[in-house]
Amino acid sequence: MSLCPCGTNLNYADCCEPVITGKRIAASAEELMRARYSAHDKVAVDFLYQSTHPDHRVNYDHKGTKSWAEKSQWLGLEIVGTNAGGSDDEQGEVEFIARFRDKGVIRSHHERAHFAKVGRDWLFTEGEMIKSPPVTVSKIGRNDPCGCGSGKKFKKCCGQ
Q: Both 45 and 108 in a single domain?
A: yes
Q: Both 41 and 81 in a single domain?
A: yes
Q: Both 143 and 92 in a single domain?
A: no
Q: Both 124 and 143 in a single domain?
A: no
Q: Give the strand pairing for 73-84 and 91-102.
A: antiparallel
Q: Both 113 and 144 in a single domain?
A: no
Report the number of distinct structural domains present in the chain.
2
Query: What global pTM score does this model have?
Result: 0.82
Q: Both 106 and 158 in a single domain?
A: no
Domain residues for 146? 134-160
Task: Write the CB contacts of 150 (distance below 8 Å, at least 6 apart in sequence).
Answer: 157
How does pLDDT run along the chain (160 residues), one tens digit per residue?
A: 799 999 999 999 999 999 999 999 999 999 999 999 999 999 999 999 999 999 999 989 999 999 999 999 999 999 999 999 999 999 999 999 999 999 999 999 999 999 999 999 999 999 999 987 776 656 777 788 877 767 788 778 777 7
Q: Both 124 and 138 in a single domain?
A: no
In a domain, 5, yes or no: no
57, 49 contact by CB (below 8 A): yes
Q: Give the strand pairing for 73-84 and 121-129.
A: unpaired
Q: Both 100 and 151 in a single domain?
A: no
Q: What is the pLDDT of residues 95-108, one digit of tens each?
A: 999 999 999 999 99
Q: Both 93 and 148 in a single domain?
A: no
In a domain, 91, yes or no: yes
Q: Both 52 and 123 in a single domain?
A: yes
Q: Both 118 and 148 in a single domain?
A: no
Ramachandran area for residue 53 (φ above 0: left; ψ -120 to 50: alpha; else beta): beta
The CA distance from 80 to 110, in Å, is 9
